[in-house]
Amino acid sequence: MSFSAAAGKVAPTVIHTDAAGLAHGDFQLPVDDGAIAAYYAAPAGKQNLPIVLVVQEIFGVHEHIKDLCRRLAHAGYLAVAANLYERQGDASAYTDIPKLVAELVSKVSDEQVYADLDASLAWAARNGGDPARVAVTGFCWGGRLTWMYAAHNPAVKAGVAWYGKLSVGHGPLIKRYALDVAQDLRAPVLGLYGGRDASIPLADVDRMKASLAAGSAPARRSEIVVYPEADHGFLADYRPNYNAQAAQDGWRRMLDWFQNHLQ
């Protein structure tokens, strides 16, 4: 794999995490109005596992998100990723991001997501997970929702938000933003951001830090790390913005964060 030490960049190299020793697969997640598609991964044969709710990036629950679930399972977690806008359509059918946002993402309310994440947690608790040890992590679209859900559900003990927007959302249904809930977090959140991410101004990151410092006890225990050379989506190994150094460091920090807060 080619690597530039100066920039921390690699050519897009899709990482595939094998499922040896794991129980994993697609399933139908029961929700308030029926069922939606979801994916899970966990160490095979284990019970009372810490739970990680994995919140998709804007492209839905595709292979990259499933791979992240398997990585978490190899680290000892029961990871669950629900397709949070299946009701609105099939994200995999889109190649144009503005069209995807206009036709699907903008029609998803936070309340719908909260209910589906609650359902994911309930399913995990019935299938080998420990409801007393719950974390949430999300990417891009899901990064914003990590902040939001950590303020919404008191069952969450830790969150890790990967490059989630702080002062905006997607579409007219979104009424509150991460900055609005920063001081009311019920669980400490680790925010991971790229210094070259034009979609999330560093001024917003600085405002978020100030809000966290003036907030609840979990808010004050939250942290934000900025990788100066990283762009948006730096964990996404299938995309050109992948940054190996930031991705590896962020993943290590996430696992340490979960270990420290899910005791």
Could you give the residue numbers annotated as active site?
140, 197, 232
Q: Measured between alpha carbons, how far is 181 from 166 in angstroms, rounded to an integer? A: 10
Tell me the three state secondary structure of residue 212: helix
Token reading at 67: 């791979």
Q: What are phi and psi of 89, to 5 degrees?
A: 150, -170
Task: Give me the residue label for tokens 């917003």.
Answer: 204
Q: Measured between alpha carbons, how far is 33 from 17 in angstroms, rounded to an integer? A: 33
Ramachandran assignment for 76, one of left (phi > 0), alpha (psi -120 to 50 degrees), beta (any other): left
CB 74 within 8 A of CB 101: no
